[in-house]
Amino acid sequence: MKNRFQCLFPACLLLLCVAAALSAGCGGESNARREITEVRQAAPDDLAPPRLSTADRFSTGTNPHGAMGMGATASATTPRYEWETPEGWEELPTTSMRLANIRVAGDPSAECYLSVLAGDGGGLLANINRWRAQMDLEPIDDAALAELPRKTLLGGEAVYVSLRGTFRGMQGDREEADYLLVGLVAVRGGQSYFVRMTGPAAIVENEVDRFDAFCASLREAAAAHGLETASGADGLHWDAPEGWELAPARPMRLVTYRAGGGACECRAFVLSGEAGGLAANINRWREQMGQAPLSADELAALPRWTVFGREAVYVEIAGDYTGMSGDKQPGQLFFGLVAPFGDSTLFVIMVGPEAAMAQERDHFAAFCQSMRQDG
């Protein structure tokens, strides 16, 4: 009994000490609660919104041909894609990662999809070896990659693969014998493009010609065809100025255009709420142009335009531009627009050499003021 009490006593003493410490921490004046006097809200980077999860970045609606939808958080969209659906193929609702999602030959085990993701995912070799692993095949090396056939996808070169084996699935939790995967992979312009068809070999073999026709029919919609009016998420529409060229899709951007012979770039994106507020965004842009922040009176004196039937603020900044890469570009001119958009904010930014930008000033104004929303 004595030994048992001796063992318990240190534990009881420790509990009493902990209780006393907690009591002092909760009630002692020296540990009183501190009132928060400053709140910092993260604002978007100059030309790209905050990093989001993959699901947030690639949130889509249910229209198989539609643009990537605008989520409840900061969101925008890549340009929409169009295609010709082969006979006997059935379009399905898009998912968070699939801009096109199609059932092949009416068989639920055969599918074809298009994905466009940011970054290179490790490069062509890594992406193709990932597919090979899903088919329970050994990886290949650079020499074997160089021997793979090339085809055209969305106006550029893509690597074509045909893999037959046991399909393990993306998570490695399946075992489907004698499956066939045919696909195209392209990595360019900071993005990765994937089109692939997977299913029982007996079915997929009969659909290869239709797969090739589907890939050949893929194209960017609206402004990609030189149409004056383009559209994006949540029924947003705008008029593309004459001479502006649609640039490759970028995650989180509503749209990107090149102008002035490619020397100037204009981009638009939507962020939730006020995204840090007017002063924070404009003064961050001024800092990137090597200029001092504006005072409250100077902010109030900035030009106002009407966008979405509401007051929007326009700013023009000349100086040496330092972008996200950290490289300084002297003699630049910066146009920026901050426009309330429902419970979100539309940002339109354009930057380039001063002489070229001066020629695009009216085009920028027309582009911003053409923004509208159906419904």
CATH code, domain carrying 325: 3.40.1000.10
**Which H or E run includes 151?**
strand 150-153
Distance CA 244, CA 106 (A): 42
Q: pLDDT band at residue 38, thresholds of 50, 70 and 90?
A: very low
**CA distance to 83, 96, 107, 119, per residue, from 62 (Å):** 16, 10, 21, 25
What's the chain's average pLDDT?
78
Task: Verify that 334 and 194 share a domain, yes or no.
Answer: no
**φ and ψ at residue 73, rounded to 5 degrees:** -95, -170
Assigned domain for 37 exists: no
Are both 93 and 191 inside the same structural domain?
A: yes
Which residue among 185, 203, 220 closes a domain? 220
Residue 64 pLDDT exceeds 80: no
| Residue 322 is assigned to a structural domain of this protein | yes
215 and 234 share one domain: no
Choose the most confident range, by mean pLDDT, from 235-239, 305-309, 346-350: 346-350
Please check whether residues 271 and 311 belong to one and the same domain: yes
Vertex 222 angle, CA 65 and 266, to 5°: 115
| 152 in a structural domain | yes
Most distant CA pair in the chain: distance in Å?
95
> Residue 122 sits in which domain range?
81-220
Determine the Cα–Cα distance for residues 70 and 50; give it in Å rounded to an integer. Answer: 15
- Do 308 and 294 belong together in one domain? yes
**Does 98 map to a domain?**
yes
Looking at the domain assignment, is residue 14 inside a domain?
A: no
CA atoms within 13 A on the CB side of 159: 21
Q: For residue 118, give the nearest of 44, 48, 186, 190 by alpha carbon.
A: 190
Task: Say how far apart CA 20 and CA 23 lie, in whole Å.
Answer: 5
Rank 60-74, 109-123, 228-242, 292-306 by mean pLDDT and report only the highest.
292-306
Distance CA 32, CA 26 (A): 7
Inside any domain, residue 57: no
51 lies in a domain? no
Whether residues 153 and 283 fall in one domain? no
Residue bearing tokens 């006097």: 37
Task: Please state the domain count of the chain.
Answer: 2
How many Cα atoms are found within 13 Å in the side-chain-facing hemisphere of 153? 25
CB 189 within 8 A of CB 153: no
Band of residue 155 on the pLDDT scale cut at 50, 70, 90: confident
Q: Do residue 208 and residue 288 come from a single domain? A: no
pLDDT at 232 over 80: no
Listed residues 220, 255, 287: the one ending a domain: 220
Same domain for 150 and 206, yes or no, is yes
Phi/psi at 298 (5° precision): -70, -35
How far apart CA 275 and CA 44 sit, in angstroms, is 7
pLDDT recorded at residue 304: 94
DSSP codes joined into one string, 28-47: -GGGPPPPP---------SS
Q: What is the pLDDT of residue 206?
A: 96
Length of the chain: 375
If asked whether residues 203 and 340 sit together in one domain, one would say no
| 324 and 239 housed in the same domain | yes
The answer on 187 and 161 residing in a single domain is yes
Same-domain status, 262 and 298: yes
- Rg, Å, the chain Cα set: 27
CA–CA separation, 118 and 58 (whole Å) = 10
Q: How high is the pLDDT of residue 201?
A: 97
Query: For the residues 98-116, what does the mean pLDDT come to?
Result: 94
Task: Answer with the one of 220, 240, 261 that is the final residue of a domain.
Answer: 220
- Please say if the pLDDT value at position 173 is more than 90: no
Residue 63 domain flag: no
